[in-house]
Amino acid sequence: MLNVGDIAPDFTAEDQDGNTHRLKQYRGQTVVLYFYPKDLTSGCTTQACDFRDNLNRLAAGNVVLLGVSPDTVKSHRKFADKESLNFPLLADPQKELVNRYGVWVEKSMYGRKYMGVERTTFILDKRGRIKHIFPKVKVQGHVQEVLNALAD
């Protein structure tokens, strides 16, 4: 389990354009790393579009936004194209990142138990330390919560 103050686990992952991202490349910048369950689903689309619509506010504060789900690069490409997403969506089909960040958890729906991503956002400071964790994110109003936390 990760906590505020911990050094964020490094990673290497591809985005929807096939570009490779390493967390270390963002040292010196604040990073908003958000984990979401699945491309092209209603809640994940709402959340991604809200981030998209506020990207200029994040960029004004020299903040990098990275979305992560277990979907493939191809799935991310479809999602980004359909919703005009203008930030990297990192593919994690091997579930390395979701496990490293502790967001791959047992979930339950209609009495059925299964493994899935717990919608979670991490704010990482310029040194790569976890500054804030938003567990079990509710989509409505979440981007504003992130913006408020960044303003602190």
Task: Please give the positions annotated as active site.
Answer: 44
Q: How far apart are CA 139 and CA 137, in angstroms?
A: 6
Residue 95 phi/psi, 5-degree rounding, is 65, 30
Q: Where are the beta strands (DSSP E) in the chain?
A: 12-14, 20-22, 30-35, 63-69, 89-91, 104-109, 112-117, 120-124, 130-134
The torsion of the CA quartet 17, 23, 27, 32, rounded to 10 degrees, works out to 80
